Structure 1
């Protein structure tokens, strides 16, 4: 099987996690680039990466690069995605994949035109547990999924300059943590919700810092989502069905779920995958999509649905970013 060369754009926390995961599995990334060369050089030395670009722009035209993993701030994704696709590179992009639906539509069209695989680095779509739970639900033992209940809350010290609250860095709860909750919701619903209600509290910088969402789709399935950057909540998801429910803790990278059958009271622990390998599962699925010629495993259509939802909520709230106002 052909070895695909990965280049990492960015050297922040999640880029470090990805590089460490690839190194752990004996296949370090091929190249790294960053606006600051010294940071890229140190990153490359740390993770055994052989090529460090003096100018990160060289990454886009390097003939040895097959896939670019984009791990820059949200508001830089769009321009880098276009550069990568225009130069024939497959791309795996950290969430949120773009700022809004218009950016995603444009890059999806470009990827299709170029015959390239483009995907969002959303752990939920690639963890073995979620694939296993989907099989269990499809088997029908628990009956129809009726309600999803989601929590995701972090406590962040208020600082208008950090990325969580900085409007110029596409801050706010929706793009930072809401994308996980809504990706979970979309994974288990039969279709994209088309009825949306919400309440929001905004920070002095104009970004969303806390919200409650209520979503319903054409099948009558409902989801509630509570997001906060000011209150720590357990990362807990629950899927309520006709004959039982599934509980998942730390759901972004979960490897275990508890199933309760309400007719008998029986409980069952489902285990699949290892949360320590969450990012490597993304790598494996991405390579399979490219080599096998089937991009469906990357769930870009789900990413599209989630982006449509996030864009719709922000539009209702009047929350926008400078890039959207030009």
Structure 2
């Protein structure tokens, strides 16, 4: 289980943060002083440190000490709402990301998850023997790393179960593949910590715009996949349009646009309809996304499972 250590002097804030992360499956420890944080850190080596910068706890100094001892442990700095220069201060402290209060559950969970993905990808790169795919090793956000993350594996298992239920109980399921248009250009002026925070904001925007039963996970920097059970084509297209419009309201990147590829499985009583699997839903959504991007972006394209031809064999999920 992934673990997190929270260094926060305010009990209401630390309790809320603990609930946020425990609800997402993290093992969480809480300390209220820098001294306690260093002792706990050295004894247990948590997967990530969340450190508050406040009058009674110098999270920046704590970050510097932790990074000096263990540079491979991600540190997320938490600033008060009145902080005017969080990016410069977090960069100066050596933090990997920062958030400014008030803190929302979705943003905290997504930012922590993205940091874990980033550092796990870096660890995989460092473990690659010399001479093996060095050009890929230089890209820690490549899709193959994120697509093997615990979040993506969870999504695959969930979708496989839902596919079986969909076949049996005859309800539709939709898969939406989302990618920011020219994201690297938009992120180029930002520092590393701000990039992570912005990506977390984007994911939080998607999650908050969808239902509780929908699942959205990142699969690479700027690319996400959303699974929507009990959602037919028309409903999924409405969701996609809502997401397309909301991305344009993202304050840090006001000119950002979104391309999407949608695939839908709608079981019918008619004989001859193709079976469906996670793989072909992803392939259809990927093809639809490529069409959206080729058409200039800032749009959604749709791909539907074709009827089963007599020579074809059904694919099991």
Output the TM-score relative to the length of structure 1.
Answer: 0.31
Of Structure 1 and Structure 2, the greater strand share is in 1
Output the TM-score relative to the length of structure 2.
Answer: 0.32
Of Structure 1 and Structure 2, the greater helix share is in 2
Name which structure has the greater RCO, CA cutoff 8 Å, separation 6+. Answer: 1
